[in-house]
A = this chain, B = another copy of it.
Amino acid sequence: MIKPLVSLIDAFKKLPGVGQKQAERFAFFIIRSPQNDAENLASSIINTKKSIKTCSICASLCEKSPCEICSDENRDRKKICVVENYTDLQVIEKTGRYKGLYHVLSGVLSPLDGVHQDNLTLKLLMKRLDAVEEILIATNPTVEGDATAMYISQLVKPHNIKITRLAKGIPSGGSIEYSDEITLINALDGRKEI
């Protein structure tokens, strides 16, 4: 195969979940696509790499540190919502229900994958605890997410701060019949008076 094509396929293969066949499809698509579409993709990659920074306060992604949320004086600065990554922050932000600050962990504790406490932004979080009244831990309800939540709550406890976690239960629109046992146990334990 022609050299530039091989190196393009190799470059695409580095993207997560992309194998030889899909990389080839991408490469042939690039060859057939209009010049400015291809240039646009290339410049977007360079531009993103150049202009996206990590917020020095909350470790979220931003164009200018500190990020928009951290520098927004109208937000409730007494609450910090701890999320695994920037995407989770976006999803929670979209609900419009939460008005506090965030802290992006950049992952969850997962010793088997080589992710230890030093790989997360925990030190940065510990620096922010003055004047904070509530830490809402919004890690995923997975084994790693639960372990990380537990670890953070133990770190934060000595500071006399209220620690909460997202409610676990049956998702909206879900069915009791097809819920797994652990979800049902969580829903029973977390039942609320109405």
Say whether A5 faces chain B, with CB atoms less than 8 Å apart.
Answer: yes
**Chain A 160-185 interface residues, beta-carbon cutoff 8 Å to B:** none
Assuming the contacts A38-B46, A49-B38, A90-B1, asked whether A22 and B17 have C-beta atoms less than 8 A apart, the reply is: yes
Chain B proximity mask over A62-101: 1 for CB below 8 Å, otherwise 0:
1100000000000000000000011100100000000000
Evaluate contact between B25 and A17: CB separation under 8 angstroms: yes
Point out the residues of chain B lying under 8 angstroms from A15, CB to CB.
25-26, 29
Point out the residues of chain B lying under 8 angstroms from A142, CB to CB.
none
Point out the residues of chain B lying under 8 angstroms from A87, CB to CB.
24, 28
Q: How large is the interface on A (under 10, 10 to 19, 20 to 34, 35 or more residues)?
A: 35 or more
Compute how far the CA of A48 lies from the CA of B37 in the bound complex, rounded to whole angstroms.
Answer: 13
Evaluate contact between B26 and A49: CB separation under 8 angstroms: no
Evaluate contact between B63 and A4: CB separation under 8 angstroms: yes
**Chain A 21-60 interface residues, beta-carbon cutoff 8 Å to B:** 22, 24-31, 33, 35, 37-49, 51-52
Point out the residues of chain B lying under 8 angstroms from A41, CB to CB.
11-12, 14, 42, 45
Point out the residues of chain B lying under 8 angstroms from A30, CB to CB.
45, 48-49
Say whether A3 faces chain B, with CB atoms less than 8 Å apart.
Answer: yes
Assuming the contacts A2-B61, A2-B63, A25-B16, asked whether A46 and B42 have C-beta atoms less than 8 A apart, the reply is: yes
Compute how far the CA of A168 lies from the CA of B12 in the bound complex, rounded to whole angstroms.
Answer: 34
Evaluate contact between A11 and B46: CB separation under 8 angstroms: no
Point out the residues of chain B lying under 8 angstroms from A51, CB to CB.
4
Say whether A8 faces chain B, with CB atoms less than 8 Å apart.
Answer: yes
Pairs A–B under 8 Å by Cβ, sample size 25: A1-B90, A2-B52, A2-B61, A2-B63, A3-B63, A4-B52, A5-B52, A8-B45, A8-B47, A8-B48, A10-B44, A11-B45, A12-B41, A14-B33, A14-B37, A14-B41, A15-B26, A15-B29, A16-B26, A17-B25, A31-B49, A38-B46, A42-B42, A42-B45, A45-B45
